[in-house]
Amino acid sequence: MTILTRENVSAPPSSSLSPGSGEITEHGHGIRLVLVDDDEDYREAVSGQLADFGFEVAAFADGAAMFAHFAEGRSADVAVLDWRLPTSSGLELLAQMRRRGILESARRRCRRRKPSNAAVSCFVPG
């Protein structure tokens, strides 16, 4: 598991978008994001980029590692899932997450959030 935050990423932002985009959770921390992708290089690159934008990223190679993360009492506001994993698909992981109630608190916060000037302020399908 890799957890990256803006503070522990040394690479400079490679985009003109401003890090964090002003999106802050109700607790005052960056948005917590889980990323699941079996390609280590891609996972590392995307995690770093997302951390540059102010996300608190927890990256995993598979669904089992992600579910272990949640079993430890951790939570997330956003999930980015690879569609083609060796043992399952991102859609299957999403269905399991819904059955387990993962991201439900993010869904409730999303519905209470007022619109902001961010490009995407809140989208939780379902």
pLDDT in tens, 57-97: 999 999 999 999 999 999 899 999 999 999 999 999 999 99
Tell how strand 56-60 and strand 2-4 pair up: antiparallel
Distance (Å, rounded) from C-alpha 6 to C-alpha 10?
A: 8
Which of these, 11, 12, 21, 25, lies nearest to 76 by C-alpha position? 25
Which of these, 55, 54, 56, lies nearest to 69 by C-alpha position? 56
pLDDT of residue 125: 45
What is the tens place of the pLDDT at every residue in 90-121?
A: 999 999 998 998 887 666 666 665 554 443 33
pLDDT at 7 over 70: no
**Helix (H) or strand (E) run with residue 60 in it:** strand 56-60
82 assigned to some structural domain: yes
Name the residue range of residue 68's domain: 2-112
Query: Which CATH number goes with the domain that contains 31?
Result: 3.40.50.2300
pTM: 0.66
pLDDT of residue 110: 65
104 assigned to some structural domain: yes
Residue 123: pLDDT band with limits 50, 70, 90: very low
59 assigned to some structural domain: yes
Q: Number of structural domains, the chain?
A: 1
118 assigned to some structural domain: no
